Structure 1
Amino acid sequence: MNGAHRPLVVGPYSEYRLYSNPSSPRGHRAMEPTTTTPGEGEYAIRPFAAGDGERFRDLYQTVWGHERSAEWFDWRFRQNPAADGVRMTLAERGRTVVGAEAAVPYRLGVGGETVRALQPVDWIVHPDHRGSGLATRMTEARIARDGDAELYFNFPTPALRPLLEKFGWRTVARPTTYYRVQDPAAIAARRGDGRAARLAGRLCAPLVTGYLDYRDRHVTPPDDIAVERLDGVPTATLAALYQQAVPERIHVRRTEAFLDWRFSNPNWNCRTYLARRDGRLVGSLVTCTDTITGMTTTRLADALPLVGGSDDAFAALVSAVVTDTPAAAVLTATADPIPDAVLSSCGFVADDTVTLSRLVSRTTHVARPVPSTESEEDWRLGGTAIDDGENWLLSLSDQDIA
């Protein structure tokens, strides 16, 4: 993340939590007032309109420090099979867009039923216009227009959580993210923590290499599992594998159309690993790799089946990914549905350990029903409490990674 500006942001939180410095007050200043506070009447809060895509991308670059293409914008907001248009609220001053808050539609499954949900993403305010109440006003406008959805679920930054709580969001869980750090110097450089941190990263490199070499030498993939590697994503195959074991817990439905959209991000290089035992497909793993300002990240984005999978199959899949990605600075994963023991054996470290607690900010999963009242019944879908983390099953691809 650009060291000059820290965004007020809901997503992509994957960028914030890995590349910001959680121990620095700069990483949490997004909700602080600025020295100049324009009057509320000078701003217009309005829905997205034709021609706003480039304005949003300009604001995105100002806040995040890197460009997003028109192709990326269309993929993220227009091509989603659950979308009926761009769901975005903008804050405008004059003819300049200075704030934005978008939502990506999802179809969730819960107890055999399908639920219309929205994931708020890319909520950003220009650094010169923070402290003007824009986040509050955009939230009010967003909620007023989203009556066709049944709930929100998202993964906000620490700075934004108090605002969401004011509007009725509740914390659902603190899901654990696992990191296999292969190039600490590259991560330190990407975070912009200064010369001392970069030097520490280089000094840590031999220790990290030694630890990973030890882990890799002691990993023995199962002999009866064959792993096939494919460039791209065979969406029909994965949708069929999902259908073989559909969870009762709240989860994102894997239709062929959804999978085709989810892994068509133009900035990603996606690969699929298929695990077979005696010729029968028993597991899959999709990886997504991208490079931002010189640092390459590979995400173990989506593993199937979501329930009832074989530990041996997941072990073979993760081992194959590790073997294939020595050049990535970091690999990331979640322990749903991959067992945490499999990830640990392959050199992944959880973000709640002392080792990583100063390097990353932990993810927080929040939710809110639409509409929300004081009734606890609003917080249940078919008898399932949406504010209980035990009732959810979310992979890394279900979070706001883009």
Structure 2
Amino acid sequence: MALDDYYIRDYRPEDLDEYLELYRSVFEAVRDDKWFRWKYEEPPSSENSEIIVAEHEGRIIGARSFFSVRMSCNNREYHALQPCDTMISPEHRRNGIFTRMNQKAIQKYENSDVRFFFNFPNKKALPGNLKMGWEFVQPLERHYRIQNPDRIAQLKFDSRFATLTGKVASAAFQGYCQIQNLRSSSISGLSIERYDHVPANEFSELHNQNRPIAIHAIRDETFYNWKFQNPKWDYRAYIARDNGESIAATIFASKSNGLNQTRIVESLPIQAENAPFTATECLYREAIVDHSQTDFFIAAGNAIPEKVLRRLGFLSDGSIPLSFKLTQKNMVARSLSGDLPIDLSNPDNWAVNFTELDTT
């Protein structure tokens, strides 16, 4: 088809039904208007739905959506957008639609208060981003704790992977048994409080006490009240207190889509490399025990202490056996301002976890 057969424009409210239908057909997943409002209309950093669509013969056949978030670096605030939920109907692919939607977005946001894009494409999508001016930052390292290898292999992988993950899970199970005996009582004066919601004020205050200088999402009370209301996930929050004073906190998010998965979506303080048996490790131990029905846990990014994850049986997706089967994601970024005083391509300038990542 000719390029002029497609009309690239901003999303309109009357596009909602066609947008959700396109999402269902491309991703084979159902999303409703409640999810859409949460993700694209209610973010505190945006007044409008930040979406570019491609129209053909009066129908929406493509979309390049953007997740709006306020970011901080060196205590300065920046408005950023994260490209996400990019979709094109199969019969209209390879017609330059992705490039044209990107061009439209770049032209639009270069003349706005948005200072940069950042996102996490897989290997297949990476070249298209780099071609459009995005810079490679780093692989997005994810850590997995396998709880139920038989179920995972049955639904997702082959027998070879099942054997490999079985070995990993055996080690994790031994760690699990140890976890049962290493509750927070092992630290004098430390207590763990559980919440079936996110206490936004306490999380925001704790973050402000230990705010990093690296690029990260601004975690004020408004942000916490919005971010962890995704209707597709169930959230549990944990706060560690030392003689009554909050010193660490985490949020675990769970959902089931055939497999029961749980993510460590937040961990405070950010980038804290805690020593063994510190508050962060105790929080994770308590949460893992509480989520005993989970098939696997996931942590992502460089804002969570890796050595704590290793001690608790988490394995990197960049190492065997997970590297055999899991699709590696990469972090990329693109400046929209010539005077941006940040080197977006330097991985040391970022502090990200699942809080910064688009959540489907």
For 2:350, give the aligned amino acid.
Answer: W
Q: CA deviation at 1:307?
A: 4.7
Query: Is the 2:62–2:97 contact (alpha carbons within 8 Å) kept by the matching residues of 1?
Result: yes
Q: Please provide the CA RMSD for this pair.
A: 1.9
Change (3 A) 1:309 1:109: same
Change (3 A) 1:319 1:331: same
For 1:82, give the aligned amino acid.
Answer: S
Q: What residue is the counterpart of 2:174 in the other structure?
A: 214
Match of residue 333, structure 1, among 276, 299, 311: 299
Q: CA deviation at 1:370?
A: 0.4
Q: CA deviation at 1:63?
A: 0.9
Task: Output one character per residue of 1:28-74: Cα deviation in whole Å (capped at 9) or x when no partner.
Answer: xxxxxxxxxx2222111111012111111101110111100110011
Change (3 A) 1:338 1:136: closer
Identity %: 27
The question of 1:82 aligning with 2:42 is answered: no
Q: Secondary structure at the match of 1:364?
A: strand
Q: Secondary structure at the match of 2:105?
A: helix
Q: What residue is the counterpart of 2:268 in the other structure?
A: 304
Query: Is the 2:271–2:351 contact (alpha carbons within 8 Å) kept by the matching residues of 1?
Result: no
1:136-147 alignment runs, 5 A limit: 136-147=99-110
Q: Answer with 215-224 or 132-141: which moved more.
A: 215-224
Q: CA deviation at 1:106?
A: 1.1
Match of residue 92, structure 2, among 129, 143, 154: 129
For 1:387, give the aligned amino acid.
Answer: S
For 1:389, give the aligned amino acid.
Answer: P
Q: What residue is the counterpart of 2:344 in the other structure?
A: 386
Q: CA deviation at 1:95?
A: 2.2
Q: Secondary structure at the match of 1:396?
A: coil
Q: CA deviation at 1:266?
A: 0.6
Change (3 A) 1:333 1:307: closer
Q: Secondary structure at the match of 2:175?
A: helix
Q: What residue is the counterpart of 1:367 in the other structure?
A: 333
For 2:176, give the aligned amino acid.
Answer: D
The question of 1:270 aligning with 2:228 is answered: no
Q: What residue is the counterpart of 1:323 in the other structure?
A: 289
Query: Is the 1:177–1:335 contact (alpha carbons within 8 Å) kept by the matching residues of 2?
Result: yes
Change (3 A) 1:206 1:106: closer
Distance 1:185 1:97 in 2: 41
Distance 2:287 2:64 in 1: 35
Q: Secondary structure at the match of 1:109?
A: strand
Q: CA deviation at 1:169?
A: 0.6
Q: What residue is the counterpart of 1:25 in the other structure?
A: none
The question of 1:63 aligning with 2:10 is answered: no
Distance 2:285 2:82 in 1: 32
Distance 2:301 2:61 in 1: 37
Q: CA deviation at 1:257?
A: 0.7
For 2:116, give the aligned amino acid.
Answer: L
Q: CA deviation at 1:207?
A: 3.9
Distance 1:399 1:335 in 2: 9
Match of residue 398, structure 1, among 353, 356, 360: 356
For structure 1, the residue ranges without an aligned partner over 5 or more in a row are 1-37, 373-377
Distance 2:154 2:84 in 1: 26
The question of 1:165 aligning with 2:130 is answered: yes
Match of residue 311, structure 2, among 333, 345, 357: 345
Query: What is the TM-score when the length of structure 1 is the normalising length?
Result: 0.83
Change (3 A) 1:356 1:362: same
Q: CA deviation at 1:342?
A: 1.0
Distance 1:189 1:85 in 2: 43
The question of 1:244 aligning with 2:202 is answered: no
Distance 2:149 2:117 in 1: 35
Q: What residue is the counterpart of 1:16 in the other structure?
A: none
Query: Is the 1:177–1:332 contact (alpha carbons within 8 Å) kept by the matching residues of 2?
Result: yes
For 1:101, give the aligned amino acid.
Answer: R
Distance 1:126 1:184 in 2: 34
The question of 1:287 aligning with 2:260 is answered: no
Distance 1:91 1:209 in 2: 45
Distance 2:171 2:209 in 1: 38
Q: CA deviation at 1:200?
A: 5.0
Distance 2:247 2:359 in 1: 26
Q: What residue is the counterpart of 2:322 in the other structure?
A: 356
Q: Secondary structure at the match of 1:139?
A: helix
Change (3 A) 1:171 1:104: same
Q: What residue is the counterpart of 1:24 in the other structure?
A: none
Query: What is the TM-score when the length of structure 2 is the normalising length?
Result: 0.92
Distance 2:53 2:261 in 1: 30
Number of residue pairs matched by the alignment: 351
Q: Secondary structure at the match of 1:51?
A: helix
Task: Output one character per residue of 1:266-288: Cα deviation in whole Å (capped at 9) or x when no partner.
Answer: 11100001111112111000111
Q: Answer with 137-146 or 160-169: which moved more.
A: 160-169
Task: Output one character per residue of 1:227-262: Cα deviation in whole Å (capped at 9) or x when no partner.
Answer: 111101000110011111111111111011111111
Q: What residue is the counterpart of 1:18 in the other structure?
A: none
Change (3 A) 1:190 1:141: farther
Q: Secondary structure at the match of 1:81?
A: coil
The question of 1:182 aligning with 2:147 is answered: yes
For structure 2, the residue ranges without an aligned partner over 5 or more in a row are none
